[in-house]
Amino acid sequence: GGDMFALIWNNKDKSIQAINGSGRSGMASTIDALKAEGHDTMPQRGVHSVTVPGAVHGWETLLNECGTMPLSHLLQPAIQYAEEGYPVSDIISFQWSNQVEMLSKLPSGQEMLLNGKAPKHGDILKIPTLGRTLRAIAEGGSEAFYNGDIAEKMAAFIQEQGGCITTADMTNHTSDWQDPISTDYRGVTCWECPPSDQGVAALEALNIIEGYDIAGMGAQTADTYHHLIEAMRLAFADAFQYVADPGFAEIPTAEMLSKEFASKRRALIDPNHALETVPYGKVQGGSDTVYISVVDGEGNACSFIYSIYSNFGSGLIVPDTGIVLHNRGALFSLDHNHVNALEGGKRPYHTIIPGLATKNNELYLCYGVMGAFMQPQGHLQLISNLVDHGMDAQAALNALRFIVTENDVSFEEGLPPQVLADLTSKGHNTKMISSYWRGLSGGMGGAQLIQRDPDTGVLHGASEPRKDGCAIGW
């Protein structure tokens, strides 16, 4: 019930494609209707936060263009796990336990609980209704999801809950192939999906810090953190101001990615003190995201990300399907004049961003960071660790991170007290995040990475300890 994005590297012709597999609001969606219900801001959960799930169509579109195996074959392991069960990991159990109260109150929420409780670490969880849905998709492709019984159940349930998505909204959904956007950072070309995706924020932040001697400041020092934090705050301010569905607004992407624009933004940074006012919108943490990085034997690469946004998305589970509906519509605005104002058939600002990087027109990195608004911040820090500080793939993922939120900047446990004190003295409102929370909502995200050695062609895989994940080669 979520969305997907991907970047594809074709090693034969050295080209990169982007696919936007995100859904749109129901055509009948209006700001006035929500305001009439008493909403002053966009609901963060519930039926009004639901947009058409775009992922299934995105999977099929991606496979038809770039795949070597049919969707019916690729879905078999997922079907088996749903029907026969799988052991729940420690971190997933912890996340699940924080959602029991919400799930217990929801229609069909009991489908996601074991005897009314969250599954414990090591419990075997079965979701047979999801298995049936996946079987239908395996047999009938995306047509089985967006037309017929599944679409009718989804639309009927959404309308019963007071939403406005119809079977026509489901039937008319499409995915889009797009030209990716990029910037050069000290000889490495970093690629992102274009708006409505927030990847432009990561690229703008890289352009801003390129004007500083980040390597000379040293890894994980107060000066380095300060300049990266300020660059990220400025980039977010611009993203929240301009990034939207390009079908509904003119996005100044080229200007946002220009070195001249970055120079103007850089001039606002005081090396000794945090900016007191950087207007940017309210951000919400999200942690129901999966990222996969793949490089095949022919050198082709896929940077793939999928999400339902918050834990259990909108909090709505379509009866008899196992489909958890995402809450991506939470990122719309109820301000008629805002670039992300809610309108019918519109895609919202999107947080999930796959990443690729090339060097001398050859694949260099295939990477991604899960975690809503942590994602561009993670891309910035990951690239800086590799390029500025010369870290290897695993060290770049393991390095201590920060996350900028509305009024604070949080760091994870292990940061030297003097570094934290120095940042506080520069005017940053600092906090610390520890334990499981580093990888959860509002935390430091979770990254996967494949790095290609430009001299030997050897691939180096890395997966960090903040989330479940692993690096596999064969």
Helix extents (H) in 388-435: 393-398, 417-425
C-alpha distance from residue 43 to each of 67, 196, 333 (Å): 38, 20, 10
Is position 254 within any domain?
A: yes
How far is residue 178's CA from residue 196's CA, in Å, rounded to a whole number? 11
Q: pLDDT digit string (tens) for 130-189?
A: 999 999 999 999 999 999 899 999 999 999 999 999 999 999 999 999 999 999 999 999
**Paired strand residues for 10:** 15
84 pLDDT band (50/70/90 cuts)?
very high
Do 245 and 154 belong to one domain?
A: no
Q: pLDDT digit string (tens) for 267-279?
A: 999 999 999 888 5
Do 232 and 140 belong to one domain?
A: no
Do 73 and 211 belong to one domain?
A: no
Residue 163 structural domain = 3-176+285-331
Do 267 and 119 belong to one domain?
A: no
| Token pair of 338 as six digits | 């805002």
Is position 337 within any domain?
A: no
Do 222 and 100 belong to one domain?
A: no
Weakest-pLDDT range from 40-54, 309-323, 448-462: 309-323
Is position 340 within any domain?
A: no
Do 111 and 216 belong to one domain?
A: no
Q: Is 302 helix (H, G, I), strand (E, B) or coil?
A: strand
Give the type of residue at 314: S
Strands 188-192 and 289-295: unpaired
Do 165 and 259 belong to one domain?
A: no
292 pLDDT band (50/70/90 cuts)?
very high
Q: Is 68 exposed, middle or buried (0-12, 13-18, 19+ CB in 10 A)?
A: exposed
Which residue among 166, 183, 289, 351 is the active-site one?
289
The count of C-alpha atoms lying within 13 angstroms of the C-alpha of 404, restricted to the half-sphere facing its C-beta, is: 28
Is position 356 within any domain?
A: no
> How many domains are there within the chain?
2
Do 96 and 168 belong to one domain?
A: yes
Judge whether 289 counts as a catalytic residue.
yes
Of 331, 363, 394, which residue sits at a domain end?
331
How far out from the chain centre does Cα 301 lie?
Answer: 19
Do 134 and 246 belong to one domain?
A: no
Q: What is the dihedral of CA 72, 75, 79, 85, to 10 degrees?
A: 160
Q: pLDDT digit string (tens) for 189-239?
A: 999 999 999 999 999 999 999 999 999 999 999 999 999 999 999 999 999
Do 303 and 437 belong to one domain?
A: no
**Spatial CB neighbours of 353, under 8 Å, sequence gap ≥ 6:** 5, 192, 193, 197, 198, 199, 202, 305, 368, 375, 376, 379
CATH of residue 450: 1.10.246.130
Single pTM value for the model: 0.94
With contact defined as beta carbons under 8 Å apart, do 189 and 358 qualify?
yes
Closest CA to 342 of 33, 132, 124: 33
Is position 358 within any domain?
A: no
Do 25 and 59 belong to one domain?
A: yes
Is position 68 within any domain?
A: yes
| Token pair of 450 as six digits | 């494949």
With contact defined as beta carbons under 8 Å apart, do 303 and 7 qualify?
yes
With contact defined as beta carbons under 8 Å apart, do 385 and 396 qualify?
yes
CB atoms within 10 A of CB 359: 14
How far is residue 447's CA from residue 471's CA, in Å, rounded to a whole number? 11
CB atoms within 10 A of CB 35: 12
Q: pLDDT digit string (tens) for 362-401?
A: 999 999 999 889 999 999 999 999 999 999 999 999 999 9
Is position 83 within any domain?
A: yes
Of 270, 305, 331, which residue sits at a domain end?
331
Do 186 and 247 belong to one domain?
A: yes
Of 331, 349, 365, which residue sits at a domain end?
331
Strands 430-433 and 409-412: parallel
| Token pair of 256 as six digits | 């946002």
Strands 362-370 and 446-452: antiparallel
- Does an H or E element contain 15, and which? strand 15-21
